[in-house]
Amino acid sequence: MSEIIASIGFLQQGPFSIPRWEAVFSNIDVLWAGALVTLLVASLGLAMALALGTVIGVMSASHWKLPRALARAYVEFYQNTPLLIQVFMLFNAIPLVFPGLFIPVIVIGIFGVGMYHGAYIAEVVRAGIQSIGRGQLEAALSQGFTYVTAMRYIIIPQAMRIVLPPLTNQAVNLIKNTSVIAIIAGGDLMYAGDSFAGRYGHYGPTYVIVGLGYFLMCFPLAVLTRRLEERTRAA
């Protein structure tokens, strides 16, 4: 066994050598801590993205001109600029506008991914609402529902079933995108990996493990997405 290992060159020297793996595993706590921050940012960011996305999606599917225009502007802005720059702006611009206001980096991360994915979720929600036949809204209105109560009781519950698979897909993207807060020293899994790897040069094993960490967080959601898609198709 040890002879076989000894004969494998890349385990003896270079970026993936055994001593590097050992060094990473003996410091795995650092990565654990980062993973917890990533989970925290992802779950709160997702909650924010869902809330924002639902409100903005309903606004952009509505027949009211002003809310629709505002929703469109929001979506276009957030979808057509890089998340990296948005997070960087939040980090640097808020102290300029509100001097002395201290915002923890984690909160900036939550707002960053929350607002960015809120725009994508808004589009998913809008498409879902628009896929519900016009007859449903007309039936509700003809019974005396207002536009808002018709949305609440008739349209949105039906749209939600349709948008569930694309929503979980958004959750996967959101988890991966939390890694951008590494550039503002976010303390997340990516940042933990970066700084640890940078300190000792153990890039190879560190990024393999960090990547695996993201995979373990995302893969269950990806499986869920596929299940939901199958269920939607069967219905």
Asked if residues 91 and 19 have their Cβ atoms less than 8 Å apart, the reply is no
- Shortest gap between Cβ of 233 and another protein (angstroms)? 15
Residue from the set 10, 64, 98, 153 that interacts with another protein by CB under 8 A: 153
- Shortest gap between Cβ of 170 and another protein (angstroms)? 22
Options 40-48, 79-87, 89-97, 157-165: segment touching another protein (CB under 8 A): 157-165
- Write out the two tokens for 38: 């990533």
Burial (0-12, 13-18, 19+ Cβ within 10 Å), 11: middle
Residue from the set 14, 82, 95, 157 that interacts with another protein by CB under 8 A: 157
- Shortest gap between Cβ of 152 and another protein (angstroms)? 9
Contact pattern from residue 129 through residue 148 relative to another protein, giving x for each residue in contact according to CB under 8 A and a dash for the rest: ----x-xx-xxxxxxxxx--
Residue from the set 17, 158, 173, 195 that interacts with another protein by CB under 8 A: 158
Q: How far apart are CA 53 and CA 71, in angstroms?
A: 10
Write out the H or E segment, with its range, that includes residue 50: helix 28-61
- Shortest gap between Cβ of 165 and another protein (angstroms)? 17
Q: How far apart are CA 113 and CA 107, in angstroms?
A: 10
Angle, helices 189-200/28-61, rounded to nearest 10 degrees = 140
Closer to another protein by CB, 125 or 140: give it. Answer: 140
- Shortest gap between Cβ of 155 and another protein (angstroms)? 10
- Shortest gap between Cβ of 141 and another protein (angstroms)? 7
Options 21-29, 71-79, 150-158, 201-209: segment touching another protein (CB under 8 A): 150-158
- Residue count (the chain): 235
Contacts 24+ apart (CB under 8 A), 198-204: 200/23, 202/20, 202/23, 202/24, 203/15, 204/14, 204/15, 204/16, 204/20
Residues found near another protein in the complex (CB under 8 A): 133, 135-136, 138-146, 149, 153-154, 157-158, 161
